[in-house]
Amino acid sequence: MESRQCILYDRVCQDCGECRCDLDPEKICDNCMQCVTGGAEWRAVSITRFDLQEEEEGEERKQP
């Protein structure tokens, strides 16, 4: 059996289901944006983590 590449992460597909469309679970996400731009009165996005780019050496942090 040939393994397939995960479309979200740099790894072999683990059938985790993260790539499934939120509106049609039978469909693999193709970035159609219907889940974001559809006709609902409101939308929500769940952010589980974010990474900040490391500052270049010698660059000072700007204070707010």
pLDDT tens-digit series, residues 10-56:
999 998 888 888 888 899 888 888 877 777 777 777 888 888 877 65
* Number of independent structural domains in the chain: 1
Q: Do residues 23 and 38 lie in contact, with contact meaning Cβ atoms separated by under 8 Å? A: yes
Tell me which DSSP letter residue 24 carries.
Answer: -
For residue 35, the enclosing domain spans 1-39
Task: Please tell me the distance from the alpha carbon of residue 6 to that of residue 8, in angstroms, as a whole number.
Answer: 6
56 in a structural domain: no
What average pLDDT is seen over the chain? Answer: 79
SS3 45: coil
Q: Is 53 part of any domain?
A: no
Task: Give helix then strand counts, H and E, for the chain.
Answer: 1, 0
